Structure 1
Amino acid sequence: MTTATINQENSSNNSVLLPMFIIGGLFFMFGFVTWLNGSLIPFLQIACELNHTQAYLVTLVFYIAYTLMALPAARVLEKTGYKTGIVIGLFVMAIGALIFIPAAQTKLYSVFLVALFILGSGLTLLQTATNPFIVLIGRRETAAVRISIMGILNKSAGVIAPLVFTAWVLADMDQFTPEKIALLSEVDKHAQLQELSERLIFPYLLMAVSLVILAAFIKFSPLPEPNINEQNDTASSNKSIKDFPHLILGVVTLFLYVGAEVVAGDTIGLYGKEMGVQNFAQLTSYTMAFMVVAYVLGMVLIPKYISQETALKASALLGMIFTMLIILSSTTDASIWNSLFFWLDIPALPNSVLFVALLGFSNALVWPAVWPMALKDLGSYTAKGSAWLIMGISGGAIIPVIYGVLADSIDSQLAYAVMFPCYAFIAYFAIWGHKKAKL
């Protein structure tokens, strides 16, 4: 190998590492903001006195922003470029975080939902910019590995966020049990719940300040613009999304996947609370921890030992198995945890709750596998294709609410059956859907 070749490879590696480092910090922030919802749902259920269906409006308004704002986000990126678009997205998120202050002061659930929608809108712009960025900065065959690295950062934040939220906001929660609140007079109950709600003010003020600082850092960083025109441009002559059936099916796959992911991460807190788990507000961390483990395995195995397609097939199969075990397993017996994880000095989970957490393991490799498969050969259509895929994130708005309705009307354990069609379609995309030349 010549010196010129070595220098060229080193330069190429550096050109990948710098944006990965910067975008990696953004993915960590995405995860922290997104997976706070898992702890926020049981918190707001208490503070705002909500039922299951009302509580899961948190996921509805947060994730529906991805549907409503994805195509506008793509237009913003076309006009401003990816770097400026990221800065704008961070400022929008900061505004959403600041709205949590009047929401907490007034204890109005509707204002909380407005704040969450604006946070989701800012994240939509960021996700539309950063996901194709990671796919395009290196070889497509290794895109799943790069996205897995981003996933580790994202889900590591998902492990940390509920722990921070619990320590900072949910201290002394014993005084806010439904039984104790029911014994209070209306005046005392209002005062207690107001005090609980106002615990959100300082954390979200700190979040807003941090987002503004991060926006300034990105603005003056050497983050390059991805050169989409250098990619395969077979899409330049196409006029409609119908010309890319694998992209359409990829959007549906992500819709169902994100719905399944959010159900696994955001319902486990309330489900564990119903099953008597004491540290219920931290349970999202368990789901995220299993996702991190799977991401690490993905980095080791893909593409050296298994392909992205094989990883996706395995994820769908595991998802269906774990869903069945959630429904059939005991909600009181913790024998599986005590057998496998006895060496961990953390509270044990009942078997059924453990399998909800294990869905994190089955879910982890779906996102990094679907993106490069769905964006294949889009060329100059990549930005719009990315926007369509981002719209698929709205599955996180719809499917958890369906779960909530089923939990209220039937049973919170049986309600997890909503996951079966999600994993069945993921299996279809992995086996046949990504190869479709026409619908």
Structure 2
Amino acid sequence: MNNNDQPSGSKKDVVIAMFFISLLFFILGFATWLNGSLIPFLKIVCDLNNFQALWVTFAFYIAYTVMALPSAAILSRTGYKNGMTLGLGVMAVGALLFIPAAKSSYYGFFLLALFTLATGMTLMQTAINPYIVCIGSRESAAMRISIMGLFNKGAGIVVPLVFSALILSGIDKYSDAAMAALDHAGREALRSELSSRLVYPYAIMAGGLLVFMVIVHFSSLPELSMEQDKNQPAVKKWGVLQYPQLVLGALSLFAYVGVEVIAGDTIGLYGRNLGVQNFAILTSYTMGFMVLGYLLGATTIPKLMSQKTALLLSAICGVIFTFGVALSSATDTGLSQALLGWAGVPVVPDTVMFLSMLGLANALVWPSIWPLALQGLGKYTAAGSALLIMGIAGGALLPMLYGRISDASNSQHAYWVMLPCYLMIFMYAVKGHKVRSWGGNEGRLERVDQAG
């Protein structure tokens, strides 16, 4: 990527890149949004409370923080394409670890498998997000990421349905009441039987990841040029922190990923607590609204709406829907009947519906923040990407906070934890993305950009 952030490659390169990256985003979405169904599943298998079950999100998303900087170092040596290939291989190892985890039903082994899977995904994310930003014009970057999001969240719609069909048949006999009626040996036998259902799907997943690793390795996916202006100073270890728009963007992504994971991964637990029959597929509701949001982004950015406007509207919707989640009825289904009844989709309580609608509010936050935060970083783009990826730690910590509050008080009111997150995103949309100096002098934009 050159110092002036010009598009890399020809139109043909962009099309080829979009094709392969879209498939990678689908794979990432498949692995990521499986967690929403896996959490209530492991809660049964390993006999967990809400807080313990949400260690799934911690083990998964903390890998992004721990492995982001190592991933950037790997990319600087291997290049983006080889980094994607290596990431797929590590993901396959993580999927294979689910097999002994399922056979043992040991929760710690599941968490290790999730961490390994997410380690490969961290390398992938560190490569493909700046890749899709820099492969074309900067002004249309959010549009390209929105298109990628359609594949990512489209996988999020499919995964809970597939998981429910393959894994959760006959789940009624694993209800709290049914398990309580059994003696200890009977409960352990049922949990072991349920856990063993994971072996075949994850073996297939590992095989698929290895096949696609080979395809990407031998593909014609173009490599981004890393040549720089010879007058640009060398990268310093912590020099990336000189860019306020990047650091504030990483904090905003921390808040965003936290609320995205809460909306997508706790909705199954929440629905089960409320007695919703189809709780295992509720993540599909959230992902459906995210797909709608990405469609809006792909069709309106930048022609009808700027990236900054999309981010601002997303934050406002997030605040409104958070109030809806925390304050609306846990029994009335009028909202879902009005919005989805015509399609024959099973109705859910209003509070669950507002939670799923956060998918719409969240959809354009990620694609809007990335190009705004990476603007003008030059040779620091790879390190900046790693810092933004570290913001994914919000998905590890904030759901845990929700789980702790939920267990201690009320699972519905615990969703108030999302409000300050959307306010942070709102502040970045209004002011944070414009700041180019820690001294507050926005007029230094041109000089700082040239300093790279």
Q: Does 1:388 align with 2:381?
A: no
Q: Secondary structure at the match of 1:342?
A: helix
What is the alpha-carbon distance in structure 2 between the residues aligned to residue 234 and residue 35 of structure 1? Answer: 44
- 1:235 shift after superposition: 6.6
Q: Which residue of structure 2 lines up, in the alignment, with residue 6 of structure 1?
A: none
- Alignment partner of 1:155 out of 133, 153, 156: 153
Shift of the 296–74 alpha-carbon distance from structure 1 to 2, 3 Å rule, reads same
Q: 1:229, CA displacement in angstroms?
A: 3.1
Deviations 1:19-76 (A, max 9, x none): 1100110000000000000000000000100001100000001000000000000111
RMSD: 1.4
2:112 to 97, 114, 139: 114
TM-score normalised per structure 1: 0.96
Residue number in structure 2 paired with 1:334 = 333
Match of 1:4 in 2: none
CA deviations on 1:201-258 (whole Å, 9 max, x unpaired) are 000000000000010001110111112437x899746641232111000100101100
Deviations 1:87-106 (A, max 9, x none): 11111111111110111111
* 3-state SS in 2 of match to 1:341: helix
Q: What aligned pairs does 1:25-424 form with structure 2 within 5 A after superposition?
A: 25-229=23-227, 236=233, 239=236, 240-424=239-423
Q: Which residue of structure 2 aligns with residue 3 of structure 1?
A: none
* Inter-partner Cα distance in structure 1 for 2:25 and 2:230: 28
Q: Which amino acid aligns with 2:248?
A: L
Q: Secondary structure at the match of 1:292?
A: helix
Structure 1: give runs of 5+ residues left out of the alignment. 1-8
User: CA contact under 8 A between 1:69 and 1:121: conserved in structure 2?
Assistant: yes
The change in CA–CA distance for 1:33 and 1:235 in structure 2 (over 3 A counts) is farther
Question: How far apart are 1:273 and its partner, in Å?
Answer: 0.9
The one-character-per-residue Cα deviations of 1:283-310 (angstroms, maximum 9, x if unpaired) are: 0000000000011011111111111001
What CA distance in whole angstroms lies between the structure 2 residues aligned with 1:294 and 1:266?
18
Distance across 2 between alignment mates of 1:155 and 1:206: 21
Q: Offset at 1:158? A: 0.4
Q: Distance in 2 between matches of 1:274 and 1:233?
A: 60
Residue type at the aligned position of 1:387: A
Deviation readout 1:415-436 (Å, 9 max, x if unpaired): 0000011000001111100111
The change in CA–CA distance for 1:233 and 1:315 in structure 2 (over 3 A counts) is: farther
Displacement over 2 Å in runs of 4+: 232-239
SS of the equivalent of 2:343 reads coil
TM-score norm. by structure 2 comes to: 0.93
Which residue of 2 is the match for residue 20 of structure 1?
18
Asked if the contact 1:234/1:378 (under 8 Å) is kept, the reply is: no
Cα distance, 1:339 vs structure 2: 2.0
Change (3 A) 1:291 1:236: farther
Matched AA of 1:332 = T
CA distance in 1, matches of 2:108, 2:350: 36
Partner Cα distance (1:340, 1:87) in 2: 41
1:319 CA drift (Å): 0.2
Contact 1:293 1:361 in 2 (8 A): yes
Question: Which whole-Å CA distance do the structure 2 matches of 1:170 and 1:411 have between them?
Answer: 27
Counterpart for residue 437 of structure 1: 436
> What is the aligned-residue identity percentage?
53
CA deviations 1:166-205 (Å, max 9, x no partner) are 0000111010001001111111111111000000000000
* 8 A Cα contact 1:39 1:162, kept in partner: yes
On the 8 A contact 2:161/2:281 being kept in 1, the answer is: yes
Indicate conservation of the 8 Å contact 2:235/2:379, yes or no. Answer: no
CA distance in structure 1 between the aligned counterparts of 2:171 and 2:21, rounded to whole angstroms: 36
CA contact 1:235–1:377 (8 Å) conserved in 2: no
Contact (CA 8 Å) 2:43, 2:53: kept in 1 or not?
yes
Partner Cα distance (2:127, 2:231) in 1: 21
Maintained 8 Å contact 2:88/2:120 = yes
In 1, Cα distance between equivalents of 2:256 and 2:397: 12
The CA deviation at 1:121 is 0.4
Q: CA deviation at 1:276?
A: 1.4
Tell me the SS of whatever aligns to 1:76: helix
Aligned mates of 1:69, 1:269 — CA distance in 2: 28
Distance 1:424 1:234 in 2: 40
1:340, distance to aligned residue in structure 2 (A): 2.5
Question: Partner of 1:306: helix, strand, or coil?
Answer: coil
> Whole-Å Cα distance in 2 between the matches of residues 422 and 341 of structure 1?
28
Aligned partners of 2:102 and 2:196 also within 8 Å: yes
Distance in 1 (CA, whole Å) between partners of 2:83 and 2:275 is: 44
Alignment partners' CA distance in 1, 2:231 and 2:134: 15
Structure-2 change in CA distance of 1:233 and 1:20 (3 Å): farther
Q: Which amino acid aligns with 1:366?
A: V
Structure 1 residue 81 displacement after superposition: 1.1
Q: For residues 437 and 336 of structure 1, what CA distance do their matches in structure 2 show? A: 43
Distance in 2 separating the partners of 1:170 and 1:27 = 26
Q: Distance in 1 between matches of 2:362 and 2:214?
A: 34
Q: Secondary structure in 2 aligned to 1:343?
A: helix
Tell whether the 8 Å contact from 1:62 to 1:397 is kept in structure 2 after alignment: yes
Label 1:35 to 1:103 Cα distance change in 2 as closer, same or farther (>3 A).
same
